[in-house]
Amino acid sequence: MVRFGLTVVRHGETRFNKDKILQGQGVDEPLSATGFRQAEAAGVFLSNVKFTHVFSSDLLRAKQTADTILGKNKFCKDLEIKYDARLRERKYGVAEGRPLTDLKAMAKAAGEQCPSFTPSGGETLDEVRERARDFFEFLCQLAVGLEQKEQDMHGAASSSGTSEEQLVFPWTNHCSEAELSSDNSGASKILDANILVVSHGAYMRNWIGYFVSDLNCTLPTNLTKSQLSSVSPNTGVSHFVVKLENGNLLKPEITCVCLNQDSHLVDVGAECVASKVF
């Protein structure tokens, strides 16, 4: 069985997030001072997690966040960050660089609701989901390839895996005892990969929606519907464990350990938790 950890983090705040201006793909803003503090706090929160791979959107706000998080890590400071356009924010077309209120007005004029409304030149939700699906399948293939390589090197009888989940200590504070015991028992603690992904709010919400609706992701017992549909705060952290029985890419078993976790932002400032603009 192939088993890998997947940690997904939203980028830190930019000045456009604070001012509620849509960035999408066409506005490539750097992190603000607050955004860098958020990224540093996320890095400290994840500092004992031994990642094997790091992927980031190729937009500047995500790249700076990924670099800052790795800079705080005790194990992975020199790990290469791989940039992937499939992790970019949803494209908002003519609405990019304009206030969120303008997008809502466009949607209202078209007789539609946000976020399902697609402005001219923007991506539909289905197109964003297809990007997310394609990238997730790539991660599954990566993990299967690593497990097969491990078996080829050491034989099927040897213990495979490159990272132990007991190093991922932050999750113990944000899920139930039952979820921990079911996921962390015995030899299953060994992960074939432990992957960090840095991306964007609307993209992440769509990706998680794909996990839940298409792949029947198991959710934390205390998660509410409003939490599930909310956009992650800047540097919100979500963690998943993905299992592929017999390397079957078509039927991944996904467990969400925590969703949009933001306790690391408590000392950064209350304004950091509230920003929901993409």
Tell me the per-residue pLDDT of 11-51, one tens digit each, with 9 for 90 and over.
999 999 999 999 999 999 999 999 999 999 999 999 999 99
Neighbours of 60 (CB within 10 A): 15
Task: Note if 264 is an active site residue.
Answer: no
Return the amino acid letter for 120: S
What's the pLDDT tens digit per position in 68-127? 999 999 998 889 999 999 999 999 999 999 999 999 999 999 999 988 999 999 999 999
First to last CA, the chain: 37
More confident residue, 111 or 225: 111
257: helix, strand or coil:
strand
Q: Identify the helix (H) or strand (E) that includes residue 109.
A: helix 100-109
Backbone angles phi, psi at 148, to 5 degrees: -65, -40
pLDDT of residue 165: 46
Q: Report DSSP state, residue 94.
A: G
Dihedral class, residue 259 (left if φ above 0, else alpha if ψ from -120 to 50, else beta): beta
Contact in structure between 101 and 109 (CB atoms under 8 Å): no
CB 197 within 8 A of CB 7: yes
pLDDT averaged over the chain? 87
Is residue 200 part of the annotated active site? The answer reads no
User: From the annotation, which residues make up the binding site for substrate?
Assistant: 10-17, 61, 89-92
Say if pTM beats, i.e. exceeds, 0.95. no
Q: The tokens of 205 are what?
A: 């919400």
Residue 142 reports pLDDT greater than 90: yes
Tokens 């003519």: give the residue.
94
pLDDT exceeds 80 at position 277: no
pLDDT (tens digit per residue) in 63-81: 999 999 999 999 988 899 9
Structure tokens at 135: 């990238």
The answer to whether the beta carbons of residues 137 and 249 sit under 8 Å apart is yes
Mean pLDDT over 229-250 rounds to 92
Task: Report how far residue 256's alpha carbon sits from residue 148's, in angstroms, rounded to the nearest whole number.
Answer: 25
Residue 129 has pLDDT above 50, yes or no: yes
SS3 236: coil
- Taking the CA atoms of 266, 269, 275 and 278 in sequence, report the sign of the dihedral they define: negative
The distance of Cα 225 from the centroid of its chain, to the nearest Å, equals: 19
**Binding site per annotation, positions:** 10-17, 61, 89-92
Catalytic residue among 29, 89, 123, 165: 89
Predicted local distance difference test score (pLDDT) of residue 181: 38
In the chain, what are the domains? 2-149+190-261 (3.40.50.1240)
Distance, CA of 268 to CA of 278 (rounded, Å): 20
Tell me which of 11, 53, 200, 264 is the catalytic residue.
11
Other CB atoms within 10 A of residue 181 CB: 9
